[in-house]
Amino acid sequence: MQTLRQLFPFFIRLDRSLDIIEYGVSMSKLRKLYGNFKDHFQFIRPNFEITYTFDSIVEFSNQVFVLELRDNPHKIRLKGQFLLINDQDNEIWFCGSPWLMSMENILEYNLVITDFALHDSAVDTFLMMNQNNLTLEDSTKMISDLSHKNKSLKKINQRLDSIIYAITHDFRAPLLASIGLLQLPEPLMYSQVPDVLQTLKKLDRTIVHLNELSKNEKVELKVTALDLSALIQEIYTNYQIIYGVNVPLELDIDSTSPFNSDAFRIRTILNNLISNALKYSKAKPDSYVAIRIQISEQECHLSVSDNGEGIDQKNLEDIFKLFFRASSKSQGSGIGLYVIREMIHFLKGTISVTSEKGVGTTFSLTIPNQKT
């Protein structure tokens, strides 16, 4: 008897009238039992043809019993079996334990693990449920990781396609031009040199942009304090020399805080924006480039405006796409603005453009001011 009590702390001992003689110490935490079994429990399984009599229960004693505590808000169910105590034949024992359907059940029922016998697999079910929840959490995380990687792979694939296209078309043109030049008779050769040189310079610019693009993917964010005024002056002077122009710069910086960001990316963004502004401004005699900057503790607003050729409205949506060119005569490689957008995204900033054909273009950027 003592052994049964230890092995089944939720036991219920019944006499031939199904009056409760005794019950386990753990069962007492679910309910104080007195009187008749039928007043406290109902049969869930078996249910058909079973009656609340000693003989009926004995008849079904080769089956698993599922009992439910009556009048309990949690509808606590117990799983177990009935044992006829053979040496006396006048009492039966229910040996089982509460069935846990969720992790919280054990706490809702006011139980602790020590209320269950060590061998009881109810506790293992409880632990298994916790592990299953964690596995589900893992699966959700894995799906999200895979979806993220898939998106990134698709993007890389599209870019590779564009690069292959560029290599077969853009890279081949200057190559063929150079081959053609070398095959010309000497007097004709010299007259063609400036055009071929221009094509080769364009090719070099394309390679520089592709390198910037590749570095944007690989180089980690490195935040330092930046002197935007000095950086812009330096870049501006360089490109005036490269393009052989003298376009006035209006630089206006309103700063209430130092600006911290990634030097490599900010330099590349400014390089591309300033070189574009100068490249398309040089045709006009009253050309100018205006750069306005507002720096706060949170972010930096930067705009680069020119009164150059402007961009056709129908092309504005596409100018940030890789290898987009408004026309075959376009001077650009079709990569510079794409590089700018990718770098701005990397810095978690935004970029927009407004333009009017023949009037000019303004690029507006917002870049978070990083903490050093």
CB-based contacts of 56-65 (< 8 A; 24+ apart in sequence): 57/18, 57/82, 57/92, 58/82, 58/84, 58/92, 61/92, 65/94, 65/96
- Say how far apart CA 76 and CA 78 lie, in whole Å: 7
Give the nearest distance from C-beta 33 to other proteins in angstroms.
Answer: 23
Determine, following the binding rule CB under 8 A, whether residue 10 of this chain makes contact with other proteins: no
Among 3, 131, 168, 191, binds other proteins (CB under 8 A): 131
Interface with other proteins (CB under 8 A), residue total 25
Among 21, 25, 101, 128, binds other proteins (CB under 8 A): 128
Among 94, 126, 239, 259, binds other proteins (CB under 8 A): 126
Helix/strand/coil for 223 = strand
Determine, following the binding rule CB under 8 A, whether residue 228 of this chain makes contact with other proteins: no
Give the nearest distance from C-beta 224 to other proteins in angstroms.
Answer: 13
Helix/strand/coil for 319 = coil
| Backbone Cα Rg of the chain | 40
Determine, following the binding rule CB under 8 A, whether residue 217 of this chain makes contact with other proteins: no
Please report, to the nearest 10 degrees, the dihedral formed by the alpha carbons of residues 364, 367, 369, 372 taken in order. Answer: -140
Q: Residue 201: name the closest of 308, 331, 337 by CA.
A: 331
Q: Residue 306: name the closest of 260, 342, 269, 356 by CA.
A: 356
If the CB atoms of residues 112 and 173 are measured against other proteins, the closer one turns out to be 112
If the CB atoms of residues 128 and 207 are measured against other proteins, the closer one turns out to be 128
Sign of CA dihedral 208, 213, 214, 219: positive
Cβ neighbours of residue 296 under 8 Å, at least 6 residues apart? 256, 257, 369
Cβ neighbours of residue 204 under 8 Å, at least 6 residues apart? none
If the CB atoms of residues 327 and 372 are measured against other proteins, the closer one turns out to be 372
Residue type, 108: E
Among 44, 58, 103, 263, binds other proteins (CB under 8 A): 103
Give the nearest distance from C-beta 212 to other proteins in angstroms.
Answer: 22
Q: Give phi and psi for 212, each to the nearest 5.
A: -60, -40
Query: Distance from CA of residue 157 to its chain's centroid?
Result: 19
If the CB atoms of residues 118 and 241 are measured against other proteins, the closer one turns out to be 118
CB 332 within 8 A of CB 276: yes
Determine, following the binding rule CB under 8 A, whether residue 234 of this chain makes contact with other proteins: no
CB 335 within 8 A of CB 324: no
Determine, following the binding rule CB under 8 A, whether residue 233 of this chain makes contact with other proteins: no
Among 25, 107, 167, 359, binds other proteins (CB under 8 A): 107
What binding mask, one character per residue, do residues 140-179 give for other proteins by CB under 8 A, x or -?
A: -xx--x----------------------------------
Instruction: Give the angle subtended at the CA of 98 by the CAs of 95 and 103, to the nearest 5°.
Output: 150
Q: Of the ranges 63-71, 118-126, 262-270, 323-331, which one interacts with other proteins (CB under 8 A)?
A: 118-126
Give the nearest distance from C-beta 94 to other proteins in angstroms.
Answer: 23
If the CB atoms of residues 87 and 220 are measured against other proteins, the closer one turns out to be 220
Give the nearest distance from C-beta 333 to other proteins in angstroms.
Answer: 32
Determine, following the binding rule CB under 8 A, whether residue 220 of this chain makes contact with other proteins: yes
Give the nearest distance from C-beta 136 to other proteins in angstroms.
Answer: 10
Residue ranges that bind other proteins, judged by CB under 8 A: 103-104, 106-107, 111-114, 118, 123-124, 126-128, 130-131, 134-135, 137-138, 141-142, 145, 220-221
